Amino acid sequence: MNPNKAYTVLVIILIIAMLIGILGFQLNFPIPWKDEASFIYQAISWSEKNTLFSESLSQNRTIMWMPPGYMITLGVIYKIFGISLELARYVSLIFFMASFLIWIYIVKKYISPVAILLVILFFILPSSLVSANVARMDVCIVFFSLLCYLAIIKDYLTIAFGLVLVGILYHFNMVYMSIPLLGGTLVRLHKNKSIKGFFYVNTFELLFLLISSVLFVCYCIYVLNNYADFSNDMETQFIRKLERPAFYHSIQNVSFITLLLLFATFSYFKSNWISLVTFLYSLALFLMYAIGQEMWYAIFYNISILSFFVGLWAMQTAKTKTPLLTVILILTVIFFLKSNRQFSGMSPSFFDVPYMDIATKLKIEGKILEALNEAKLNVKHKNSAQSFTISFSGKGNSIFFYLFAKKNGITLIHDLPETIQKTPVADLCIVIKRQQDPLWISQYEKHKLPAACKYGLITSDRNSEVSFFRIDHDQFVLSDG
């Protein structure tokens, strides 16, 4: 068989195998996460009302803790195909597979076809696969950062800069891609002795930069018009992150960053431009992981290590080929032996399906309707313009009930209140617990939750009995009905 045809067949087989593996999780790995619900609610608002304001997240203002690119993209898709958590995760799957193909193209064209094995190994890690199964924008950033990395390698710096601007509209982490972009600028300065050669751009590059700049400016105007809300959300985020140990307090982090900078400097003086940009790309992804310190950022860590190995591979010469490949192989084995420690508790389960089964969902909906009918008999509530409200403890779980709530005129509240500021906060509270949650009923009673739930509390595991607790003298009392 022709080598190119054999390569194509291999890639197709790998893609099919990866898709089967991911879909084998039934897109239920991991369990629905609160961030997913937050982003999806804004996407739903965009699909239905062309706005990012969602009453499920806030009754007063638009939540601005993340740029709007992902929510708008998902909202447009919802307009066409309808609303579901599964569809949102399919979008992540598409970005994941596109990133995989870009990596395959890069290593085949600029490094070595053999290096494709490294790409495959890093993309099939559970902590990588999870990014294809979560309705978040992290895998979108992997996609845009890879496009930016490829543009820098091809010396399309204007396009790379435009991609940074577009990527920032999905997540602020994209700003770290200015590091390899700076490396690409140094390479162009080295190659072009004239100012004219350095600043040359073609029509397509100029058009792309213009479009991306307009989009970025529109977002900046949006932020300025809502600066108080934006500032409040950013302050909340920074307070939470600053409570964690700084990334430079870790000797492992500092050592790896130093190593990357040393290899990048060596590559520059050796005029090995591919390695230089690759090491700086690895640095950008590692900073996303180390500074962000979120469990979902493990995909950035994996891609950073992969980029480091690819950069080493690109440094090889005829004399160093065998020992360098041996070092890469040893380092890869060590990494994979340690990678099992990542994402503790997030490994896929083939036996305990974390999605809620249909029977349990129908039981919960029945209990909700029971409380809703009781509320309609209440004269005060019947004459009130305010709709019946439901508050969830597991924020991700509320997405399963969105269409049901919409059909019955119910408003979903994104969070179950722990601090009572208003009584009642919701007409009905729902707790769909994870198995490891201890003594959850007493825990919520301790927080005076009965005062926040006007008509009661529905509780359930994802696939077990459903209970309805009514309120009696500020205590939960199990209903016989």
- At residue 10, the pLDDT reads 65
Spatial distance between the Cα atoms of 150 and 331, rounded to a whole number of angstroms: 25
Per-residue pLDDT reduced to its tens digit, 12-24: 766 666 666 555 5
Residue 322, in any domain of the structure: no
- At residue 39, the pLDDT reads 92
Query: 186, 220, 246: which is the final residue of a domain?
Result: 246
CA angle 92, 94, 96 (to 5 degrees): 70
Strands 428-433 and 457-461: parallel
- At residue 4, the pLDDT reads 64
Residue 64 has pLDDT above 80, yes or no: yes
Q: Which residue from 414, 426, 430, 437 is spatially nearest to 468, judged by alpha carbons?
A: 430
Residue 35, in any domain of the structure: yes
Q: Which long-range contacts (CB under 8 A, 24 or more apart) does 416-419 make?
A: 416/391, 416/392, 416/444, 416/449, 417/391, 417/449, 417/452, 418/447, 419/447
Alpha-carbon distance values, 320 to 126, 277, 323, 456 (Å): 33, 20, 6, 71
Query: 246, 280, 306: which is the final residue of a domain?
Result: 246
- At residue 419, the pLDDT reads 37
State the pTM of this model. 0.83
Residue 437, in any domain of the structure: yes
Same domain, residue pair 240 and 363: no
- At residue 66, the pLDDT reads 92
Alpha-carbon distance values, 434 to 421, 456, 462, 464, 476 (Å): 27, 20, 7, 11, 20
Tokens of 34: 């609160």
Tokens of 451: 């005062």
Same domain, residue pair 227 and 106: yes
Residue 94, in any domain of the structure: yes
Per-residue pLDDT reduced to its tens digit, 344-368: 333 433 334 445 677 888 888 988 8
Residue 305, in any domain of the structure: no
Spatial distance between the Cα atoms of 353 and 464, rounded to a whole number of angstroms: 12
Alpha-carbon distance values, 467 to 72, 331, 447 (Å): 37, 52, 20
Residue 414, in any domain of the structure: yes
Same domain, residue pair 232 and 371: no
What is the residue range of 467's domain?
Answer: 358-478
Residue 376 burial (C-beta neighbours within 10 Å; 0-12, 13-18, 19+): exposed
Same domain, residue pair 100 and 221: yes
Residue 24 burial (C-beta neighbours within 10 Å; 0-12, 13-18, 19+): exposed
Per-residue pLDDT reduced to its tens digit, 144-175: 999 999 999 999 999 999 999 999 999 999 99
Is the separation of the CB atoms in 364 and 402 below 8 Å?
Answer: no
Residue 262, in any domain of the structure: no
Residue 48, in any domain of the structure: yes
- At residue 296, the pLDDT reads 78
Residue 34 has pLDDT above 80, yes or no: no
Residue 134's identity, in one-letter code, is: V
Spatial distance between the Cα atoms of 52 and 411, rounded to a whole number of angstroms: 16
Query: 207, 227, 246: which is the final residue of a domain?
Result: 246
Number of separate domains in the chain: 2
Residue 437 has pLDDT above 60, yes or no: no
